[in-house]
Amino acid sequence: MPVCKKGMVKMKTDLSSLLPEELRIWSQSRGFAAYRGDQIFHWLHQRGAADFSEMTNLPRDLRQFLDENAVLHYPKVLKRQESAAKDTVKLLLELDDGRQVEMALMLYTRQQSKNRATCCISSQTGCAIGCAFCATALAGPGRNLLPGEMTAQVLLAGQEARKLGFEQITNLVYMGMGEPLLNLAALRQSIAILNHPQGLNIGMRRITISTCGLAPQIYKIADWGWPLGLALSLHAANEGLRRSLIPAAKTNSLRSLLAACSYYREKTGQRVTYEYALFAGINDDIGAAHALGRLLAGRDALLNIIPANSVKETGFFAPKGEIIKVFSEILSNYNLEVQVREPRGLDIDAACGQLRSRD
């Protein structure tokens, strides 16, 4: 590590977390042409370069300068798993400090419309929220991911998608490990990078943030004014039950969350998705279905029912198919768009709530 005259350790700049305009300023302020910043961005966010040595159109002195003064936080792939159906890939990634996160890629081949490749990325190395049913919670709180550590997951997913015959990542969900709204600044920067026309250029409408429900932060992302998808993990229409499942519900009442979601809808023009994981014997009875219907009726909502994915340590299970059917039929009568999420990658523990660090 370079050391300054006064003996202080010089911090290297994380270039993988910067936008082209920031890279241009960085480059210029260090005595290199501004357009070198655009070239670096192109190498990182279009070509997926993991190292400065790959940036062959940069002059040698710049590459040496980069080696000495900058870093890229490109994760290392420790393990790759592919589902038997070849429609889901999960990567276990190691970050520079040795911490681990998982990323899942889901591929959908469609007859009528374009194929879809959805990548589900992690925003933290663990999770401080502690939802009773979730595998990530088992590891406890982790650290926030840097913007570049999030964008790299999408680049790696793109490489995996191409291996399986898909052209590119079409959709992106912040539904992997961690609570994205507890890492707001990095979340925002990662989206700006992924949406940038000089990078992957993923449309805002194709990006969804999933949250356990932190009302003040929902207002903040609404004020970004970006047409991002927002998914709220509801899982119960009853305050007491919700608190027992999601500890953050103690300080974020259903009322405050629904008000925040209405504000989000107004500010961004985007319809909010409500996620409801169905846990056998806990929130899957007819009374719970009607309570949920009453709560969401008239909200122009999309309801996503997620039959619980099993995490052996937690003891939560999906109800039988018949119960899932009855539950979703009741909700359809409340004038909501209801979808039952089809589990993907169960054989490789890549479905919702199953991502975790393996250390």
Tokens representing 31? 């005595």
CB of 262 to ligand SAH, least distance (A): 19
CB of 78 to ligand SAH, least distance (A): 21
Q: Is 295 a binder of ligand SAH (CB under 6 A)?
A: no
Instruction: Assess whether 352 carries a catalytic annotation.
Output: yes
CB of 233 to ligand SAH, least distance (A): 4
Nearer to ligand SAH, 58 or 129 (CB): 129
How many of the other CB atoms lie within 10 Å of CB of 198?
A: 15
How many residues bind ligand SAH, per CB under 6 A?
Answer: 18
CA–CA–CA angle 80, 233, 355 (5° rounding): 15
CB of 133 to ligand SAH, least distance (A): 4
Is 153 in contact with 160 (CB distance < 8 Å)?
Answer: no
Residue number closest to ligand SAH, CB atom: 353
Q: Is 230 helix (H, G, I), strand (E, B) or coil?
A: strand
Q: Can you say whether the dihedral through the CA atoms of 204, 190, 54, 37 is positive or negative?
A: positive
Instruction: Assess whether 337 carries a catalytic annotation.
Output: no
Interaction mask 133-152, ligand SAH, x per CB under 6 A: xx------------------
Tokens representing 25? 């300023």
4-12, 42-50, 157-165, 303-311 -> range binding ligand SAH (CB under 6 A): 303-311
Q: Is 309 a binder of ligand SAH (CB under 6 A)?
A: yes
* End-to-end CA gap in the chain: 27
Q: Which of 82, 102, 149, 275 is catalytic?
A: 102
Q: Is 311 a binder of ligand SAH (CB under 6 A)?
A: yes
Q: Is 175 a binder of ligand SAH (CB under 6 A)?
A: yes
Identify the CA nearest to 310 among candidates 179, 177, 134, 104: 134
Residues 326-355 that bind ligand SAH (CB under 6 A): 352-353
Nearer to ligand SAH, 50 or 145 (CB): 145
**Is residue 157 packed enough to be buried (19+ CB in 10 Å), middle (13-18) or exposed (0-12)?**
buried
Is 307 in contact with 343 (CB distance < 8 Å)?
Answer: yes
Interaction mask 212-231, ligand SAH, x per CB under 6 A: x-------------------
Is 178 in contact with 124 (CB distance < 8 Å)?
Answer: yes
Identify the CA nearest to 235 among candidates 187, 291, 193: 291
1-9, 88-96, 127-135, 282-290 -> range binding ligand SAH (CB under 6 A): 127-135
Is 95 in contact with 125 (CB distance < 8 Å)?
Answer: yes
- Residue 157 phi/psi, 5-degree rounding, is -65, -40
Across-strand partners of 274?
Answer: 232, 303
Nearer to ligand SAH, 199 or 353 (CB): 353
Residues 229-288 that bind ligand SAH (CB under 6 A): 233, 275, 277
Give the Cα separation of 235 and 316 in Å (integer): 13
CB of 242 to ligand SAH, least distance (A): 11
Interacting residue ranges for ligand SAH, rule: CB under 6 A: 131, 133-134, 175, 179, 210-212, 233, 275, 277, 306, 308-309, 311, 316, 352-353
Active site residues: 102, 352
